Structure 1
């Protein structure tokens, strides 16, 4: 498959429809979740479920586990049709996925098992904290969350991620040596450069930095290494190295931990002042979980634009770094345009959508960044367009 370096109007029309559908599904899914939480909270259903479990066994550890399994299972069944459409059939409809239903179900099962084990472990510890430290559980929870994320960031690339995808060291010797020279140039200590079998499920391309400490690595999707030029791959690699050099993984972990602790603190205040209104015994009453989930969900919706803006600022800094270290503006711009075509990315999304959903600057902004960088440096971002060196061709 050959990917055009020019924006395709037809692809952009499809991209806009695809993005609009995904945003609609997000609001439907969010509304469904909020409605379910409100229903079980105000109907007294949550209290009845807890009473039913306690009539069988009063061990609070077991009560929490059974309550979460029942409620989580019910929610998974409720949202299954929507998840099936949004994560399997919609990408297939727009040519972004060729995953089979069987393959998707296997991934869902793996995710449910892993997420269930981790989730139940964390929920059990949360309610231990709620019962043991009713005034300070939010602080203990925030601190624990920080260390948990650090541990998982270290383990995920070698334990969890390989359960879903195959990671192999970059096999192209020439490209690997070029990437290693770039890493040396940046002064970054990279533990490995890997390719990931994106093509098994999707036609989209991506690359990312993952892991901390001895598991830190840069991962390039095989759809990227197959369809992009070495110059374009080098720009992508330089962007990922920018995250590494800037310490963005650690920045993100601590930023997320602070946001989480603030959310838990606010949840504590609201829970302490509303428990009686719903008939809950104490802050550690598992029947109050829908109330806790509502507060944290509302806080997440409120802070999501803040975390997205922070993420976009780090991505922009990594783009600048890639331009500085490679001095290859033309490849940066063609890479962005090819990503837009291949990934069906909306080049000019609405401002409100950027604010609410985008963790990366939109493609149009990244292309302008390259053009402006070229103009300031006296470079030509479009060497094949006939513009003389030193003219960017942009207004």
Structure 2
């Protein structure tokens, strides 16, 4: 394992060199020459200083993301390769006979270890966004969100890993399929409770304060045949200066949410375009598509995790004794496969966002408001209009601003 770890270290150093060269040598954030001077050209709505800051901020942010990406995987690999998982599992068996407590203590160690390893990177991200005036949150408030996030994820994942290990022992040949069947109601339940239970842990939600704007949104919602009462305002100005809106939840728990920064930073016609975009997600049942897509993807993922674990144990009695090594392998392979699936998820999401943009043009009949809204979003969040391909492939679940404005511009002749 020492030899393997050495190769992993060398490979990681080569990976860092590639990332640095890719972003600082090989990529060019400029747009095609044919688009210079058009509404897609950021120099037409951002000054030179803003353009430089936008490129610098985006590049640093992306470099940090890709360099820190394998940190969790390294922790999992160390826990397995060092023999820590095996030794700790044996000690926990002597400490208590209750399997649930053994798993709880071991999983807490794994969770806190990955949190502490990635914590410095999270702090750097926090102060980087503060430096560029993207983040308005105080450090104590940010830490509060971090603690809430840790415990929410820990509780949910503990339930998952406990059930997984139990089924590995009881149903070694088909544990993955049983876990998948159990995950379906669990996923639906989380989708229902997220907007009404989990989201309010982080922010305050309330009905839209601007009654005149509310009336316009209700008129737009009436045209789209959806209830406007599901439009909520959230107090994001205490944390960020960026604009956003989104749709979440299903059935009676579905909510279209508008950040207060969006209300304060955009004109009413631009907000209406953004809301029309979100209404498209509601009408076209994108939340259901995402949910069922996740359920289908988890079936493939769980099967592959079982296949990989059997390869590790060379198929010989892989589940004869289910240990903490199995738990760590499950977490490692889950994380790796989740990352591998990201480009597919992003591509599907980008298509849905394109459809929503075109729907907003059709519903509002105001493409100009869409163009100016996206220009302001770009300027406000210091987003690159034309990001590098690697960033778009792995990080963008929305089309780039260049693509979004182009979609709107191309839709105008069809509308006329």
Give the structure-2-normalised TM-score: 0.85
Is 2:76 aligned against 1:37?
A: yes
Q: How does 1:63-142 map to 2 (within 5 A)?
A: 63-86=102-125, 88-142=126-180
How far the C-alpha of 1:280 sits from its partner, in A, is 7.0
Check conservation: 1:308, 1:358, Cα contact below 8 A: yes
1:331-385: CA deviation from partner (whole Å, max 9, x where unpaired) = 010000000011111111012211111000010111111111113334xxxxxxx
Work out which of the residue numbers 62, 66, 69 in structure 1 matches 2:101: 62
Matching residue of 2:52? 13
Matching residue of 1:218? 256
Check conservation: 2:169, 2:319, Cα contact below 8 A: no
Output the CA distance in 2 between the equivalents of 1:42 and 1:71.
14
Output the CA distance in 2 between the equivalents of 1:182 and 1:78.
47
* Residues 281, 52 of structure 1: alpha-carbon distance in 2 compared, 3 angstrom cutoff: farther
Output the CA distance in 2 between the equivalents of 1:98 and 1:131.
49
Work out which of the residue numbers 175, 181, 203 in structure 1 matches 2:241: 203
Check conservation: 2:310, 2:316, Cα contact below 8 A: no
Out of 294-303 and 219-228, give the one that drifted further.
294-303
How far the C-alpha of 1:114 sits from its partner, in A, is 1.9
SS at match of 2:196: coil
Work out which of the residue numbers 365, 370, 375 in structure 1 matches 2:408: 370
Is 2:181 aligned against 1:146?
A: no
Q: CA RMSD in A?
A: 2.0
How far the C-alpha of 1:65 sits from its partner, in A, is 1.0
Check conservation: 1:238, 1:326, Cα contact below 8 A: yes
Check conservation: 1:129, 1:141, Cα contact below 8 A: yes
* Residues 238, 5 of structure 1: alpha-carbon distance in 2 compared, 3 angstrom cutoff: farther
Output the CA distance in 2 between the equivalents of 1:229 and 1:191.
21
Q: How does 1:1-395 map to 2 (within 5 A)?
A: 6-86=45-125, 88-275=126-313, 282=320, 284-378=322-416
How far the C-alpha of 1:233 sits from its partner, in A, is 0.5
Output the CA distance in 1 between the equivalents of 2:228 and 2:168.
41
Output the CA distance in 2 between the equivalents of 1:9 and 1:367.
21
How far the C-alpha of 1:110 sits from its partner, in A, is 1.6
Output the CA distance in 1 between the equivalents of 2:158 and 2:344.
28
How far the C-alpha of 1:190 sits from its partner, in A, is 4.7
How far the C-alpha of 1:292 sits from its partner, in A, is 2.1
SS at match of 1:156: helix
Matching residue of 2:15? none
1:292-326: CA deviation from partner (whole Å, max 9, x where unpaired) = 22322222222111111011000001111101111
How far the C-alpha of 1:9 sits from its partner, in A, is 3.8
Output the CA distance in 1 between the equivalents of 2:319 and 2:360.
56
SS at match of 1:160: helix
SS at match of 1:239: helix
SS at match of 2:197: coil
SS at match of 1:113: helix
Check conservation: 1:134, 1:283, Cα contact below 8 A: no
Task: Report the count of equivalent residues.
Answer: 374
